[in-house]
Amino acid sequence: MAWRPKLERILWYAAVVISSAGMLGWLRATELWYQYWSLPHSPNPATGNIYPLNIHGYVVYQTLKEQLRRERWDFWSLEVLGLGIALGTFHKWLTGRRQGK
């Protein structure tokens, strides 16, 4: 089948690009976690910092917007990274079957 090597190459590049995007997103999510050390240690309803975030016993209070942003970056970056890993695993399985391994 002439289309199969092209499909394998496309899968490989897609896996690399998607995994790289997921890893960069995960690094951004990690950076967001480290920005939270500067948040207030007590709730402040005037500024909206009323949502607690416990970081290994170090409690800070964030706004709803900050909380949602952090949760979205955490969730979606790991989802994209998982998709890239799944594509890479599928690529390995597909090329292993073709080579008889």
Per-residue confidence in pLDDT tens, the chain, 101 aa: 566 778 888 888 999 999 999 999 999 988 888 887 788 999 999 999 999 988 888 899 999 999 999 999 999 999 999 999 999 998 888 887 666 55
Tokens of 59: 């409690």
Q: What is the pTM of this model?
A: 0.74
Give every CB contact of residue 76 below 8 A, 6+ residues apart in sequence. Answer: 25
Residue showing tokens 């998709």: 83
Three-class SS state of 90: helix
